[in-house]
Amino acid sequence: MVPCPSGARDLESMTLTNAPFQFVRDPALPYLEARVASDARRVCYAPHSHRTFSIGVITGGRSECRIGGSRRTVGDGVTVVIDPEEIHACNPLEDCPWSYRMVYVDPDWLGQVQGERGAFYPHGVNASEDRGLHKALSRLVEGLFDPSLDSLVKDVAAVAFFSGLKAALGEAPPPEDRPSTGLDRAAAFITDRCVDPLRLEEIRAVSGLSLSHFVRAFKRRYGLTPHAYQLNRRVQKGQELLRRGRPIAEVALDVGFADQAHFQRIFKRLLAVTPGRYAAG
DSSP bridge pairs for 122: none
The answer to the question of residue 15 being in a domain is: no
The answer to the question of residue 14 being in a domain is: no
Report the run of H or E that residue 83 belongs to, with start and end: none
What CATH number does residue 161 fall under? 2.60.120.280
Rounded distance, CA 126 to CA 189, Å?
29
160 and 197 co-located in one domain: no
100 and 219 co-located in one domain: no
Q: By C-alpha distance, which of 150, 10, 120, 148 is closest to 55?
A: 120
Residue pair 71/109 in contact (Cβ under 8 Å)? The answer is no
The answer to the question of residue 190 being in a domain is: yes
118 and 164 co-located in one domain: yes
Rounded distance, CA 50 to CA 235, Å?
10
DSSP bridge pairs for 73: 64
The answer to the question of residue 206 being in a domain is: yes
Is it the case that residue 68 has pLDDT exceeding 60? yes
Q: Give the tens place of pLDDT for each residue, 107-162.
A: 999 999 987 666 788 887 899 999 999 999 999 999 999 999 999 999 999 999 99
Residue 75's Cβ-side half-sphere holds a number of Cα atoms within 13 Å equal to 14
The answer to the question of residue 2 being in a domain is: no
Close Cβ partners of 152 (under 8 Å, ≥ 6 residues apart): 28
199 and 150 co-located in one domain: no
Domains: count for the chain: 2
27 and 165 co-located in one domain: yes
Task: Report CA-CA distances (Å) from 55 to 63, 81, 105, 139, 218.
Answer: 15, 5, 8, 13, 26
44 and 117 co-located in one domain: yes
Residue 224's domain comprises 182-280
Cα four-point dihedral sign 200, 205, 206, 209: positive
Rounded distance, CA 210 to CA 204, Å?
7
The answer to the question of residue 74 being in a domain is: yes
Q: Kindly report the pTM of this predicted structure.
A: 0.86
Is it the case that residue 266 has pLDDT exceeding 50? yes
Rounded distance, CA 53 to CA 171, Å?
14
Residue where a domain stops, chosen among 169, 203, 228: 169
161 and 28 co-located in one domain: yes
214 and 143 co-located in one domain: no
User: What is the structure's pLDDT at 122?
Assistant: 84
Q: Give the tens place of pLDDT for each residue, 184-230.
A: 999 999 999 999 999 999 999 999 999 989 999 999 999 999 999 99
Coil, strand, or helix at residue 213? helix
What CATH number does residue 205 fall under? 1.10.10.60
**H helix runs in the chain, sequence order:** 107-114, 131-145, 151-163, 165-169, 182-192, 200-207, 211-222, 226-243, 248-254, 260-271, 275-280
Q: Give the tens place of pLDDT for each residue, 15-67.
A: 445 556 789 999 999 999 999 988 777 777 899 999 999 999 999 888 889 99
Residue where a domain stops, chosen among 109, 139, 169: 169
DSSP bridge pairs for 22: 36
Residue pair 97/61 in contact (Cβ under 8 Å)? The answer is yes
Rounded distance, CA 280 to CA 22, Å?
9
